[in-house]
Amino acid sequence: MRINRKRLEESMEALGRIGETPRGGLTRLALSDEDRHGRDLLVGWMRGAGLQVSVDQMGNIFGLRPGTEALPPVFMGSHADSVPTGGKYDGQLGVLCALEAIRSLDDEGRRTRHPVGMIIFTNEEGARFQPAMVGSGVMAGKIPLEDAYNARDRDGKRLGEELERIGYIGPEPCIPRPMRAYLELHIEQGPILEEEQVPVGVVEGIVAISWSRLTLHGVQDHAGPTPMRMRHDALVAAAEVVSGVREIPRQIRGNMVATVGRLDVTPNIPNAIPGRVTMSIDLRDPDEHNLSRAVGMVDRLVKAEARREGVTYELEHYWRVPRTAFDAEVVNTVERAAKSLGCGHRRILSGAGHDAQYMAAIAPTGMIFVPSRAGRSHCEEELTPMDDVEHGANTLLLAAAELAGA
């Protein structure tokens, strides 16, 4: 039993055109018009494949292929939203490989004891609405539905209203449902598989993640007449914090990473001293204890730099996802599937967050990685060679079929 490579490639191309950027990347922000068009296309394909489609209160989309017995389903899935000027593989590939696996079961006339289904999760990226992985987070009971609905984008638009606007607030409650297993195929987004020329990563777990929001309040004033001694510049304090955050992984040692990815400066004009800066701080570590130490270091860093510049601040550590270990049986099944294909594979830990991280709290969960060219993602250059995609998709198909009792 194998997937149909040509059909998968065609659906990748068709979905990749929705939100395509001039440089061949993708901007399909959560709950944008592009997201709606992508969802509509996917739902049409799911119905075309005979799946029973439903949508929950968070806009998560489910498609189900019945099994021969009344048993909990095996779900495969990922997300179809992207970051701005992102790539055509992050998320989208997992959704399309799930669909392709189901289509392939149909081609072969393969019945399974457990139903087999797919899920398209809402706002995995957290680019437009924070935090990330919100569709799976609500489903797993880790994020209250009302908090998710109340998240606002830069223009002040509420997630709940945007979900309604694009027609994807469904009637089904967004709560844990019985699952035999959850499987997610994704690009690695790091360099390991490509460097080692291994097409399939058997993912054992995901690092712990912490997101913080810092707002620095300085004194907005004229850039000309205000002497240097009188300034309380929010951006100067922010710059010191950016440098300090960069130093934290060096001090912690090991595999920690730390990123300031977002900076909003007010009033953001050439001739005013910045009065206010809001920034994001993203910290990740395989070790929960290191992550907690790093959060404490951020607290002290911000306090010291704010005092030095004479500015006030609010610092909120608003999102934390623990280090996640995937289910041993599911991981072993993925490994066996890759092995039976005769393709190279290795165990690997994910440095990126995925819906699988929340799903692991409510279902036996595992992931399959395929290589990222030059290790790059969250950029327009994202690329996975089609041979690797095919190995990954076949691994997904065989693992899902085994778990579903084909």
Alpha-carbon gap, residue 352 to 133, rounded angstroms: 11
CA neighbor of 114 nearest in space, from 70, 177, 77: 70
Query: Is the Cβ of residue 89 or residue 168 nearer to Mn ion in the bound state?
Result: 89
Cβ proximity of 96 and 12 under 8 Å: yes
Query: Is the Cβ of residue 126 or residue 218 nearer to ligand GLV in the bound state?
Result: 126
Alpha-carbon gap, residue 239 to 245, rounded angstroms: 10
Task: Rule CB under 6 A: choose which of 59, 86, 353, 371 binds ligand GLV.
Answer: 353
Alpha-carbon gap, residue 90 to 349, rounded angstroms: 17
Taking residue 50's Cβ as centre, other Cβ atoms within 10 Å add up to: 13
CA neighbor of 124 nearest in space, from 63, 38, 25: 38
**What does 25 bind: Mn ion, ligand GLV, none (CB cut-off 5 to 8 Å by kind)?**
none
Task: Rule CB under 6 A: choose which of 61, 118, 132, 397 binds ligand GLV.
Answer: 132
Alpha-carbon gap, residue 232 to 318, rounded angstroms: 27
Which residue type does 160 have?
A: G
**What does 201 bind: Mn ion, ligand GLV, none (CB cut-off 5 to 8 Å by kind)?**
none
Query: Is the Cβ of residue 79 or residue 142 nearer to Mn ion in the bound state?
Result: 79
Alpha-carbon gap, residue 136 to 148, rounded angstroms: 11
Query: Is the Cβ of residue 11 or residue 377 nearer to ligand GLV in the bound state?
Result: 377
Cβ proximity of 127 and 84 under 8 Å: yes
Measure Cα distances from 34 to 29, 41, 48, 162, 264 in Å: 7, 11, 21, 12, 25
Task: Rule CB under 6 A: choose which of 159, 352, 403, 406 binds ligand GLV.
Answer: 352
| Secondary structure element (H or E) that encloses residue 266, with its range | strand 263-266
Distance in Å, CB of 55 to ligand GLV, minimum: 23
Task: Rule CB under 6 A: choose which of 34, 125, 188, 355 binds ligand GLV.
Answer: 125
Distance in Å, CB of 395 to ligand GLV, minimum: 22
Q: What is the dihedral of CA 339, 376, 99, 387, to 10 degrees?
A: -50
Query: Is the Cβ of residue 148 or residue 237 nearer to Mn ion in the bound state?
Result: 148
Q: What values do phi and psi take at 28, rounded to 5?
A: -135, 75
End-to-end CA distance of the chain: 11
DSSP 227-248: -GGG---HHHHHHHHHHHHHHH
SS3 27: coil
Query: Is the Cβ of residue 46 or residue 132 nearer to ligand GLV in the bound state?
Result: 132
Measure Cα distances from 356 to 344, 350, 360 in Å: 23, 11, 6
Interface mask toward Mn ion for 81-100; x: CB under 5 A: ---------xx---------
**What does 91 bind: ligand GLV, Mn ion, none (CB cut-off 5 to 8 Å by kind)?**
Mn ion
Distance in Å, CB of 376 to ligand GLV, minimum: 13
- Examine residue 366 and tell whether it contacts ligand GLV (CB under 6 A): no
Distance in Å, CB of 98 to ligand GLV, minimum: 18
Distance in Å, CB of 60 to Mn ion, minimum: 15
**What does 233 bind: ligand GLV, Mn ion, none (CB cut-off 5 to 8 Å by kind)?**
none
Query: Is the Cβ of residue 121 or residue 313 nearer to Mn ion in the bound state?
Result: 121
Distance in Å, CB of 109 to Mn ion, minimum: 32
* Count, residues near ligand GLV per rule CB under 6 A: 4
**What does 353 bind: Mn ion, ligand GLV, none (CB cut-off 5 to 8 Å by kind)?**
ligand GLV
Distance in Å, CB of 77 to Mn ion, minimum: 11
Query: Is the Cβ of residue 34 or residue 125 nearer to ligand GLV in the bound state?
Result: 125
Alpha-carbon gap, residue 232 to 275, rounded angstroms: 8
Residues making contact with Mn ion (CB under 5 A): 90-91
Residues making contact with ligand GLV (CB under 6 A): 125, 132, 352-353
